[in-house]
Amino acid sequence: MSNKVIPLEAIPDRSGHTVTIDGRNYLVMNDAMFTFYQRSMGELSDFFLALRDEKKILGCRCTKCGMVRVPPFVTRCPDCNFAPVETVEMGDTGKMLATPPITYFANSLFQQQVPFGRGRLLLEGADTALSVNIYTTKGILVPGLVKKGTEMKVIFRDNRVGEITDIFCVPAAELTADQLAQKGLTASALDWETSTEPALPPAGETEAQHFAAVLQELQALVGEMNGCERARKDIAGWHRTVLVKAAGGEFTLKIADGELTVEPDKTGPSDFVMVCPDPKVLLDGLAYRGSLTQAIMTRNLWISKNIEFNTIFKLERMARSLARSKKV
Amino acid sequence: MAKRVGIVGAAVTPFKGKWYEKTYYELAQMATAEALADAGLEPKDIDGVFYGIYNDIFQRTCIPEHPLQGIIGLQNKFGMRVSNGGATGAYTLSAAHAYVAAGRFKAVLMLGVEKATDCFDFQSMSATPEVIKTIGWSGDSFFEQKLGWTAADSYAEVVLAYKDEYPGDLKPEVTAQISALLSEQARSNNYAQRQFDQVTPEEVLNSRIVVEPFKELEICVYSEGAAALVVAEEETARAIANQTGQPVVWITGVGESNEHSFAGRNHKIMHRIISDHIAARKAYEMAGIKNPLQAVDVVEVHDAFVHQLEITMAEMGFVPLGNADSLIEDGLILPGGPLLLNPCGGLIYSGHAVGASNIMSAWSVRNELIRRRLKTGLVHGTGSTIAQYGVVLILEHD
Ligand SMILES: [Zn+2]
């Protein structure tokens, strides 16, 4: 990731091209509008400094009506004819005000963070809700995991810069009693490795046969992908060992800098686990007959680490690359 | 005493996914020339202009309206830009109405234009992510933008909160049917971006989820285009109507409301779109409407998302909150039903050229009132974060 406020790879070259419509040429120029800021956080500085330096969340309480607003977005209460407010320190647990949406397809600025939830957290004792990002430590974030009323804990990132993204939330149920009680709990103190795998349905002879057939087809497909320059480029520099569990059996999917391999059974330690009751879901996604992202959202495919959605994205890109190169 | 204000001319350009052939200068001039021609007027007959232009970044310039003043032949006259998120067009109508009703002008132009898809993301080599990013700058800049705020996830917050309260409403089969119905209706709109993109409810159900619960075919499409209206005070309007032979369509009710953008007690009620409720109530009061379902024949509701369309229809009093699905299940908006809803195909099929969208909706309502000899129409606009802005206008056939 670039350290610049605009990632260098997002910036186009100074050039243009011509589009011809009905025999007329139209000039299309690469262009940008950009403005840089040294933006003061003004009266909100206390809030952001407290996040960054003290791992604390500040709110404000109206001295007249007692309304507690978080974040402290006013210095006077507009409901009480602008009576002054006082700063209060909030706790870091609360409940979701409503069921939060989850973003899977983000623009380039947020591509590294998907899938993420964004919702409104009503901290204990607060009257207004704080917009927060929502994650899970127990696998991939899917609809239904966090709902209206779900108890949440605010987690502080280890590297804080004084922005609202210095914090995010996870369901309180995923934490130990000690962690819940701890103030200013940081991301590195959480267990991101132990996920809760969904149970596979019982498998019989039919499932085993189906699994074997799918595995065979998958191996053929992977062979094609390895022969496709475009698809190879999509996983250049990427290394992952994925244990895939399906009803009927397990196999290992290896991604090694442009090379994709499928090996029967478990072949040692893996970076993450993929669970798909019907292995055809994975096959269809890689064959560009279906979407892996869609399968995740509909709970037909599960991965053990939210951050590995990036790997899913790369696999989907490979599927598209192979499909496109076949078309040509 | 406020003057009566009526629409005497209207025009739209085709709404397209991309207008390589025209800049927003030319789109604006096209719509203006045709709207004036429709009213049988020339620039010299117009006292001023209200511009509906949503986003400076889309137009790639600040004060995007200044070059237009001379381009549309209104140099040295009144010109004012309105910018209110998605509700820009409806708020432009509201502003123009107020000035004319106050007696400041005899006849004015309302001009909405947007070049929404010149933005381009060079990493994915496609426009859409950059369009979404551009709109993403509209989220609260201190507390929300950096969390990945988008228009879709913001409206999804409201819809999911509504579903928390009314889990049985906004059924996927119903939202799919509404989308399919709108796609059918777009067929007769020669200016629609997706005029011939008819879809079945099954296709909608199977389209990909963009942000839960919104599917790709339940979301408005970003567009480029312009729309213009000519409105005039009563005496002038009647004189124009005598010349053109087209009846005046009167603006008889106007209501607006902007909610709190923070949620909680005494703040935004997440499961409501109170702005739409208040705006409708005010507009009905002004127009003397008691029962909207009885009084209104045609509605152009701003359908950013089908689910929001349903909630808005409930907030405006056409169906009960919690049973918005009765729009379909009781046949209210089906062919032959009592209500004509989004005959232009809505913004989902006609396209969303933001500043021009609600003006296009008014153009559509006027067309339907005149063509089908209906009495009363309603134009709605929604916008900003968590459906914060709501505007409702009542239009009536002379
Ligand atoms: Zn107060």
Mean pLDDT value across residues A158-163: 97
Q: Are residues A210 and A180 in the same domain?
A: no
Give the type of residue at A257.
D
Choosing from A161, A189, A217, the residue where a domain stops is A189
Give the type of residue at B263.
A
What distance in Å separates the CA atoms of residue B343 and residue B189, rounded to the nearest whole number?
8
Q: Are residues A209 and A183 in the same domain?
A: no
Nearest residue of chain A to residue B130 (CA atoms) = A107
The verdict on residue A50 lying in a domain is: no
> Any bridge partners for residue A68, and if so which?
A61
Interface of chain B against chain A, CB under 8 Å?
20-21, 57, 60, 120-124, 129-130, 132-133, 136, 140, 142-144, 146-150, 152-153, 156-157, 160-161, 163-164, 208-212, 262-267, 270-271
Question: Does A1 have pLDDT greater than 60?
Answer: no
What distance in Å separates the CA atoms of residue A73 and residue B213, rounded to the nearest whole number?
30
pLDDT category at A267 given cuts 50, 70, 90 is: confident
B262–A99: do the CB atoms touch at under 8 Å? no
B21–A9: do the CB atoms touch at under 8 Å? no
> Any bridge partners for residue A152, and if so which?
A94, A171
Closest C-alpha among B222, B304, B198 to residue B16: B222
Q: How many beta-carbon pairs under 8 angstroms link A with B? A: 138
Give the type of residue at B175.
T
What distance in Å separates the CA atoms of residue A294 and residue A106, rounded to the nearest whole number?
14
A118–B148: do the CB atoms touch at under 8 Å? yes
Q: Are residues A140 and A164 in the same domain?
A: yes
Give the model's pLDDT for residue B52: 98
DSSP state of A54: I
Q: Are residues A184 and A209 in the same domain?
A: no
Give the model's pLDDT for residue A102: 94
Query: How are beta strands A116-123 and A102-103 bridged, if at all?
Result: antiparallel
Q: Which residue has the higher pLDDT, A1 or A3?
A: A3
Residue B357 is encoded by which pair of tokens?
């969208």
Q: Is the pTM of this model over 0.90?
A: yes
Cβ burial of A320 (10 Å; 0-12, 13-18, 19+) is: middle
In order along chain B (398 residues), what is the average pLDDT of each group of 10 residues? 94 97 98 98 98 97 98 98 98 98 98 96 90 94 96 96 98 98 98 97 92 93 97 98 98 98 96 98 98 98 98 98 98 97 98 98 98 97 97 96
The verdict on residue A237 lying in a domain is: yes
- A80 alpha carbon – ligand 1 mean position (Å): 4
Q: Structural domain tally of chain A? A: 2
| Closest Cβ opposite residue A99 in set B149, B161, B211 | B161
A100–B157: do the CB atoms touch at under 8 Å? yes
Q: Are residues A311 and A255 in the same domain?
A: yes
Q: A-chain residues within 8 Å CB-CB of B266? A: 67, 79, 127
Helix (H) or strand (E) holding A256: strand A249-256
Mean pLDDT of chain B: 97
The verdict on residue A260 lying in a domain is: yes
Which phi and psi (to 5°) does residue B134 adopt?
-60, -45
Positive or negative, the CA dihedral A6, A12, A15, A16 is negative
Give the model's pLDDT for residue A61: 98
Q: How far does CA A315 lie from the centroid of its chain? A: 16
Give the model's pLDDT for residue A113: 86
Q: Please, what is the end-to-end C-alpha distance for chain B in angstroms?
A: 20
Q: Are residues A276 and A212 in the same domain?
A: yes
Give the model's pLDDT for residue A196: 85
Which phi and psi (to 5°) does residue A17 adopt?
-145, 170
Q: How far is B283 from chain A (nearest CA, A)?
A: 26
SS3 category, B51: strand
B209–A104: do the CB atoms touch at under 8 Å? yes
Q: Are residues A293 and A318 in the same domain?
A: yes
Closest C-alpha among B207, B117, B13 to residue A298: B207
Q: Are residues A247 and A306 in the same domain?
A: yes
Give the model's pLDDT for residue B358: 98
| Neighbour order of strands in the sheet with B107-115 | B78-82, B48-52, B107-115, B224-233, B5-12, B249-258, B389-397, B376-383, B298-300, B340-341
Closest C-alpha among A280, A282, A275 to residue A260: A282
What distance in Å separates the CA atoms of residue A132 and residue A230, rounded to the nearest whole number?
38
Alpha helix (H) residue ranges in chain A: 45-49, 177-181, 205-226, 229-234, 280-286, 292-297, 309-327
User: Tell me, what CATH number does A237's domain have?
Assistant: 3.30.1050.10
- A121 alpha carbon – ligand 1 mean position (Å): 21
| Closest Cβ opposite residue B121 in set A21, A108, A118 | A108
The verdict on residue A273 lying in a domain is: yes
| Residues 87 through 116 of chain A touching chain B, CB cutoff 8 Å | 97-110, 113, 116
Question: Does A2 have pLDDT greater than 60?
Answer: no
- B258 alpha carbon – ligand 1 mean position (Å): 20
Q: Are residues A164 and A102 in the same domain?
A: yes
**Apex CA A147: angle with CA A312 and CA A198, to 5°?**
45
Mean pLDDT of chain A: 94
Residue A270 is encoded by which pair of tokens?
């893996």
The verdict on residue A130 lying in a domain is: yes
The verdict on residue A10 lying in a domain is: no
What distance in Å separates the CA atoms of residue A148 and residue A162, rounded to the nearest whole number?
28
Alpha helix (H) residue ranges in A227-308: 229-234, 280-286, 292-297
What domains lie within chain B, and their CATH numbers?
5-119+222-244 (3.40.47.10)
**pLDDT tens-digit map of A3-55:** 788 888 889 999 999 999 999 999 999 999 999 999 999 999 999 999 999 99
Do you know the residue count of chain A?
328
Give the model's pLDDT for residue A328: 64
Q: What is the ipTM of this complex?
A: 0.94
Q: What residues are neighbours of ligand 1 (ion), with CB under 5 Å?
A: A 62, 64-65, 67, 77, 79-80
The verdict on residue A257 lying in a domain is: yes
Give the model's pLDDT for residue A8: 87
**pLDDT tens-digit map of A318-327:** 999 999 888 7
The verdict on residue A183 lying in a domain is: yes
Positive or negative, the CA dihedral B79, B80, B85, B90 is negative
Closest C-alpha among A261, A258, A257, A256 to residue A222: A261
Choosing from A163, A189, A215, the residue where a domain stops is A189
Closest C-alpha among B244, B233, B257 to residue B4: B233
Q: How far is B60 from chain A (nearest CA, A)?
A: 7
Question: Does A165 have pLDDT greater than 90?
Answer: yes
Give the model's pLDDT for residue A207: 93
| Closest Cβ opposite residue B212 in set A10, A102, A119 | A102
- A58 alpha carbon – ligand 1 mean position (Å): 17
- A149 alpha carbon – ligand 1 mean position (Å): 26
> Any bridge partners for residue A240, and if so which?
A255
Q: Are residues A108 and A143 in the same domain?
A: yes
Choosing from A189, A218, A248, the residue where a domain stops is A189
B143–A164: do the CB atoms touch at under 8 Å? yes
Give the type of residue at B244.
T
Give the model's pLDDT for residue B124: 84
- Largest Cα–Cα distance in chain B? 58
Q: Which domain holds residue A112?
A: 93-189
Q: A-chain residues within 8 Å CB-CB of B143? A: 71, 73, 130-131, 164
Residue B116 is encoded by which pair of tokens?
């929404």
Q: How far is A324 from chain B (nearest CA, A)?
A: 15
What distance in Å separates the CA atoms of residue B354 and residue A104, rounded to the nearest whole number?
25
